[in-house]
Amino acid sequence: MSSKMYKMAREHLANSLQELVDEELKKFKSKLTYVELKKKLKNIPRGEIKKVSDHEDLAEILVNHYGSWNAVKVTMKILKKIHQRHVAERLLYDIKENDKKNKKKEDDETDDDDDDDDDDETDEEESSDDDDDDDDNDDDDDDDDDDDDNDDDDDDDDK
């Protein structure tokens, strides 16, 4: 799991859990010990949850125990069970917005790299244009030669 994803999940979970009043947080922690999970996931031991003093610590335990994405899914499931659907929806919204920002930031960084390539192409085009100018001059010289040839033809006619 990347440290960036870990940190992002922990922060969003902590923010969401902070929205709960003491009684709701107590319900959340209670459900956390026995909520039905997928086969591969195990509930956090009750003793570990009792040690938790605040929303920051709880978010840390959730992410450490379940991993970033599963911690978010478990949290959303429990929030819905304790009738805090709006907090669950806000959590999901915040995470999606964060992903959009990160993708945009990555795209912007990629675009910056592309701009460097564009500069190289511009330089190549300019040097191509210079070559074209030389070709134009060569054509002018050829035209002069053609005129000379025509003059010779005229001389032949006179004879």
pLDDT band at 100 (very low <50, low <70, confident <90, very high): confident
> What is the C-alpha separation between 129 and 132, in angstroms, rounded?
5
How far is residue 10 CA from its own chain's centroid?
Answer: 19
DSSP classification of residue 33: T
Provide the mean pLDDT of the chain: 78
Superfamily per CATH, domain 3-108: Death Domain, Fas (1.10.533.10)
- Averaged pLDDT for residues 106-114: 65
Stated length of the chain: 159
Domain ranges of the chain: 3-108
User: Is the pLDDT assigned to residue 24 strictly greater than 60?
Assistant: yes
